[in-house]
Amino acid sequence: MITCLPLLAGEGARRKGDIGMRNKNKRLAQYATELRRNMTDAEYALWYHLRNKLFCGIRFNRQVIIGHYIVDFCSRKLKLVIELDGIQHVEQEQYDLERTKFLTAQGYKVIRFWNDEVLKNIDNVLEAIYVEIEHLSPPHFGSSPHKWVEPRLEVLK
């Protein structure tokens, strides 16, 4: 009979293949940081409303690593992913489908908006996000006095 003993503290990183995975995760983390520093106009416009729990009191993070993907915005508590798609997504439809399938398998609800939609009609985008939050939140969410934080309608440049 073969039994596996637990690894001693610090031994886990010595297994073959771990270094490659660690380097891959490090590269992905560096890329996520780069994406956070270089947001698109649409990402900036939406982040303006989602940051610091301003929207419905829900914490969102941007450029979050889930598995081997980086998602635009994510509420880990609600398991809600918000993706903003530019013109390049027309050409990478299959990749987006695989990515959404993976995220869904991890328990995330994925909603997508076109960059143009965010820039030209932020109120409708925020309303759609609110509906998803209400659907994913506990029953008491709707009775909260902070259920809707008025979107700021300033023009972002």
Average pLDDT over residues 52-60: 90
Superfamily name and number for 39-136: VSR Endonuclease (3.40.960.10)
Indicate if the alpha-carbon torsion angle 138, 134, 41, 51 is positive or negative: negative
> How do the domains of the chain map onto residue ranges?
39-136
pTM over 0.75: no
- Indicate the range of 45-59, 82-96, 106-120, 143-157 predicted with least confidence: 143-157
Residues 65-119: pLDDT tens digits?
A: 899 898 999 999 999 999 999 877 567 888 889 999 999 999 999 999 999 999 9
